[in-house]
Amino acid sequence: MVVMAKSKNSNQKLSYISVPSQVIHSLSSTSLQSLLLSPKKSSRNANRFFNTARNPRFWFSVLFLFAFVGMLRLGFNLEPLLPFSPNPCFVGQPQTLISRKDSVTQMGLGSNAGDVRQEEEDGEETEFWKQPDGLGYRPCLDFSGEYRRSSEVIVKDRRKYLLVVVSGGMNQQRNQIVDAVVIARILGAALVVPILQVNVIWGDESEFSDIFDLDHFKKVLANDVRIVSSLPSTHLMTRPVEEKRTPLHVTPQWIRQRYLKRLNREGVLLLRGLDSRLSKDLPSDLQKLRCKVAFHALRFAPPILDLGNKLAERMRAKGPYLALHLRLEKDVWVRTGCLLGLSHEYDEIINNERKLRPELLTARSNMTYHDRKLAGLCPLNGLEVMRLLKALGAPRNTRIYWAGGPPFGGKEALLPLTREFPHFYNKDDIALPGELEPFADRASVLAAIDYIVSENSDVFMPSHGGNMGHAIQGHRAYAGHKKYITPNKRQMLPYFLNSSLPESEFNMIIKDLHRDSLGQPELRTSKVGRDVTKYPIPECMCNDTNTRSFS
């Protein structure tokens, strides 16, 4: 037989306790009353009772009956006290005896206070994923009439050719390829497909077509610059004009005065190391050309693009995700003059490496580590990234894709992050067996995969500035100002060092410091020397009703 236990709340589900029917039949209400409420008997009956009471079996029966009655009473009011787990085999943290809603009601906060609190938590999660207001800005690459007319002459020229050798990691190479196209346009020369120099750190021997879609590159730029795969036979024996040390931030006028006469005479110009050699402030048409190369022409090769998009889809399969570019590699700590803060042992390794190779320290060698930290020149470590994300409202169940090389200190360097945000993955975690094997030991290709997954994320944040962070910032702006968190290190670090600050106050301060650092539209012209591929407004984006596509 089954005894039904019904909750006081008629809207809640019914719970059931199985009781053997023969026990129920043997314990009728009449027999219970005769045991508990029987009137006084004669003295003979009394003596019989006391004799019976001396028998241990009697007391055992009484205890059994009282226990059974207690079980029956509990059964008729069971659900408010002891909720059943929807999964009876689940082994986890013990459930509370009183439901959250009932406990809030008993505390005098109202019957719907629990719902309000849940709505507040959901609201915080929604706020974290909220995208900035793009103010209607859209890509707008409308070249001038003069640019179009000169294009007809430039793309037909067969006399002048520009050779370039680009160096560094994949994102640094991207920047140099962008400027190589612009320099070819300034000189009216055809651009030979850039040569990717093998970097001593990365050890990647990939060629241009291994990383980028060469056919697409040529097609998109067909009306701007002629792109050729190699020098024609007429120029193979030509001794190129070589410039090894182009000054920083040169103007188009400087380039023409320096190279054009010799290029017309010799036919071939060879340039190396174009990083930051071309001025960031160029005429409007050349700035638009920069955007056209960076955001349209430089598309990754199909195998890389396919795998990157697959990984991004897997990350989004369970909702929005955050991409985090972690700069925790050993060489980053050495070059920046900073310490990762894990232990004295790790700090000694970094200091010794810097003493052995002082040329690795990039700038401001006269500053102490503490001064660098307060000036915002150091990467955020794992603990600081975790505290920043929590303060900005990232929910604990946030799915995080982290891009970057192996962190110095291994898993220990990531522990503060993985403890607080357990859904923490990189490409090795979400790729299927064998998917990454074709790209093993090819750092530039792996960096390209990180770029694709990061660009497709709902929110992106770098732990330190760098070429990848700058490129993705511009890409996300050009795509409609997708959320991009720029850590305000210089202003927030004093609060990180203040251990007496309550967490609620700390969170409020950090949120306020980053209110305008979430990827909102920002004019490049508001600060001299900004890269248009990082800040594409106003040269490459407009917000009027007559937005036109590039040509």
Contact 139, 295 (CB under 8 A): yes
User: Would you state the pLDDT for residue 309?
Assistant: 98
Q: Which pLDDT band, with edges at 50, 70 and 90, does 80 fall under?
A: very low
Total Cβ atoms within 10 A of residue 477: 26
Task: Single out the residue of 362, 451, 437, 443 nearest to residue 405, CA to CA.
Answer: 443
Q: Which pLDDT band, with edges at 50, 70 and 90, does 39 fall under?
A: very low
Q: How far apart are CA 299 and CA 241, in angstroms?
A: 30
Higher pLDDT, 49 or 384: 384
With 0-12 / 13-18 / 19 or more C-beta atoms within 10 angstroms meaning exposed / middle / buried, residue 191 is buried
Q: How far apart are CA 48 and CA 410, in angstroms?
A: 82
User: Would you state the pLDDT for residue 367?
Assistant: 82
Q: Which pLDDT band, with edges at 50, 70 and 90, does 86 fall under?
A: very low
User: Would you state the pLDDT for residue 67?
Assistant: 57
Phi-psi region of 136 (alpha: psi -120 to 50; beta: other; left: phi over 0): left
User: Would you state the pLDDT for residue 17?
Assistant: 35
**Could you give the percent of the chain with pLDDT greater than 90?**
60
Above 90 in pLDDT, residue 259? yes
Residue 163, beta-bridge partner list: 270
Which stretches does DSSP call E strand in 287-440?
A: 321-325, 399-403, 424-425
Task: Single out the residue of 461, 482, 430, 416 nearest to residue 318, CA to CA.
Answer: 430
Average pLDDT for residues 33-51, to the nearest whole number?
42
Higher pLDDT, 52 or 499: 499
With both helix axes pointing from N to C terminus, report the angle between 443-455 and 170-187 in degrees, rounded to the nearest 10. 90
User: Would you state the pLDDT for residue 289?
Assistant: 98
Above 90 in pLDDT, residue 55? no
Residue type, 260: L
User: Would you state the pLDDT for residue 125?
Assistant: 64
In the chain, where the domains are located: 145-297, 302-543
User: Would you state the pLDDT for residue 183?
Assistant: 98
Contact 324, 385 (CB under 8 A): yes
Range with the poorest average pLDDT among 1-5, 79-83, 495-499: 79-83
Average pLDDT for residues 44-51, to the nearest whole number?
47
Higher pLDDT, 112 or 408: 408
Which DSSP string do the residues of 275-309 spell out, in sequence order?
A: TTTB-S---HHHHHHHHHIIIII-PBPHHHHHHHH
Above 90 in pLDDT, residue 539? yes
Q: Tell me the per-residue pLDDT of 160-213, one tens digit each, with 9 for 90 and over.
A: 999 999 998 899 999 999 999 999 999 999 999 999 987 666 668 899 999 999
What fold, for 145-297? Rossmann fold (3.40.50)
- Sign of the four-CA dihedral 63, 65, 66, 68: positive
Residue type, 49: F
Average pLDDT for residues 471-492, to the nearest whole number?
97
> Which whole-number Å values give the CA distances from 420 to 92, 127, 499, in the listed order?
19, 19, 19
Task: Single out the residue of 134, 121, 513, 482 nearest to residue 320, CA to CA.
Answer: 482
Above 90 in pLDDT, residue 51? no
Range with the poorest average pLDDT among 17-26, 284-293, 308-317: 17-26
3-state DSSP assignment of residue 269: strand
3-state DSSP assignment of residue 461: strand
**Encoding tokens for residue 115?**
């719902």
Task: Single out the residue of 530, 516, 532, 545 nearest to residue 478, CA to CA.
Answer: 532
Average pLDDT for residues 487-504, to the nearest whole number?
94
Residue at token pair 């974290």: 128
Percent helix, percent strand, percent coil in the chain, to nearest 5: 45, 10, 45
Q: Which pLDDT band, with edges at 50, 70 and 90, does 78 fall under?
A: very low
Range with the poorest average pLDDT among 55-69, 295-309, 321-335, 438-452: 55-69
Q: Is the pTM of this model over 0.85?
A: no
**Ranges 74-78, 296-300, 491-495, 544-548, most confident:** 296-300
Average pLDDT for residues 1-14, to the nearest whole number?
40
Average pLDDT for residues 41-70, to the nearest whole number?
53
Q: Which pLDDT band, with edges at 50, 70 and 90, does 341 fall under?
A: confident
**Encoding tokens for residue 458?**
């709902």
Above 80 in pLDDT, residue 500? yes
Higher pLDDT, 542 or 71: 542
Residue at token pair 């490496």: 353
User: Would you state the pLDDT for residue 110?
Assistant: 35
Above 70 in pLDDT, residue 355? yes
User: Would you state the pLDDT for residue 58?
Assistant: 58
User: Would you state the pLDDT for residue 65?
Assistant: 65
Range with the poorest average pLDDT among 273-282, 336-345, 453-462: 336-345
Pairing of strands 15-18, 2-5: antiparallel
Q: Which pLDDT band, with edges at 50, 70 and 90, does 75 fall under?
A: very low
Residues 6+ apart with CB under 8 A from 441: 203, 204
Task: Give the distance between the most distant pair of CA atoms in the chain.
Answer: 138
Q: Tell me the per-residue pLDDT of 284-295, one tens digit each, with 9 for 90 and over.
A: 999 999 999 999
Range with the poorest average pLDDT among 121-135, 252-266, 511-525: 121-135
Q: How far apart are CA 551 and CA 547, in angstroms?
A: 13
Residue 278, beta-bridge partner list: 250
Above 70 in pLDDT, residue 491? yes
CA angle 478, 479, 480 (to 5 degrees): 90
Total Cβ atoms within 10 A of residue 457: 25
Contact 285, 143 (CB under 8 A): yes
Neighbour-count burial for 308-321, b at 16+ CB within 10 Å, e otherwise: bebbbebbbeeeeb
Q: Tell me the per-residue pLDDT of 399-456, one tens digit each, with 9 for 90 and over.
A: 999 999 899 999 999 999 999 999 999 999 999 999 999 998 899 999 999 999 999 9
User: Would you state the pLDDT for residue 360?
Assistant: 74
> Which whole-number Å values give the CA distances from 543 to 483, 537, 547, 550, in the listed order?
18, 10, 7, 15
User: Would you state the pLDDT for residue 340?
Assistant: 87
